[in-house]
Structure 1
Amino acid sequence: MTDYALLTRQLDALLDTRDWLTNAAQTCAFLMQELDDLNWAGFYLYRQPETLVLGPFQGKPACNPIPFSKGVCGAAARSRQTQRVEDVHAVADHIACDTASRSELVVPIMVDDSVWGVLDLDSPRLARFSEADRQGIERLVEVFIKASELSPLADG
């Protein structure tokens, strides 16, 4: 079982700048290093109306852009709620950037009640993300938000 309390303390210590870009890159690298069975970890940013654009990430080249109307990332941005998908191939509008991905966890990043972007984690393992993972990753996103100077990126 992943010790998210420890990971939260470690990420908090790692993010020693207020620069969101540096912190996003560090967060992706940290997650890829510390969590088992990930094949992609990255940020999509809300920079165009109803659209997410690729930000810092670790993994294979990614799909870009992603409309709010499609995929798991779009659903997280649209609903403003974390999406935990056990089998991405069962999602009708799933956007398959890496066909090896089997499960996905996407956490919306909210600033002043506006969507700033999402943190997207993919795994080649079916049902990789538990409810404990959802809660733990949401806490790590809170660490990222607190450490970074975030302001809304688009009108939303």
Structure 2
Amino acid sequence: MFAANPLSGSKPEQYDLLLAQARALIEGERDRVANAANLSALVYHALPDLNWVGFYFYDGRELVVGPFQGLPACIRIPLDKGVCGAAASTGQTQRIADVHRFPGHIACDSASNSELVVPLSLNGELIGVFDLDSPKLERFDADDQRGLEAIAQAFVESLR
């Protein structure tokens, strides 16, 4: 039922399948840590060219690392720093082709070259971000953004 290898088909088809898998994986579970852990693993193993996939949760002051796949990560990220902070503070997905050109980029893993961060909000309140890093420049395109925003939304919906 769940992909252990990169998905096949067009990108929109891949994301449709991945979203269906994500929804099946978190169906009936409301615990954010459990769902974040499973979604991180699902996405990390399903999509190519990723070196980090995970969640940061907002504690009322800053973002704190949650479940993830990849090398150890920065533990705390202020809302005015880095790509994750930009997504959290603006409420807008950040799709960065070259993180080394992003002002204030935080290099938790020196191998990361591009990043996509989706802000997570519930009832209009920031709850965190869904963060993906790649060692490949320009790894993420508009199809990736749409697909990963849908997975992030499924995560948020699981918390209701």
The TM-score, its normalising length taken from structure 1, stands at 0.92
Equivalent of 1:83 in 94, 116, 126: 94
Structure 2 counterpart of 1:127: 138
Task: Please give the secondary structure, in 2, of the residue aligned with 1:89.
Answer: helix
Q: Distance in 2 between matches of 1:118 and 1:18?
A: 17
Q: Which runs of 5+ in 2 are unaligned?
A: 1-9
Quote the sequence identity (%).
Answer: 51
Structure 1 counterpart of 2:59: 47
Structure 2 counterpart of 1:73: 84
Length, aligned pairs only:
148
Structure 1 counterpart of 2:73: 62
Per the TM alignment, residue 77 of structure 1 is displaced from its structure 2 partner at its CA by 0.4
Task: Please give the secondary structure, in 2, of the residue aligned with 1:84.
Answer: strand
Question: Structure 1, residues 121-154: CA drift from partner, whole Å, max 9, x if none?
Answer: 00000000001100110001111111234xxxxx
Alignment of 1:138-153 (within 5 A): 138-149=149-160
Q: Which runs of 5+ in 1 are unaligned?
A: 150-156
Question: Structure 1, residues 101-130: CA drift from partner, whole Å, max 9, x if none?
Answer: 000000000111111000000000000000
Per the TM alignment, residue 92 of structure 1 is displaced from its structure 2 partner at its CA by 2.2
Equivalent of 1:31 in 43, 50, 55: 43
- Report the RMSD for the aligned CA atoms in angstroms: 1.0
AA of the residue aligned to 1:33: H
AA of the residue aligned to 1:97: C
Q: Runs (4+) of structure 1 moved beyond 2 Å?
A: none
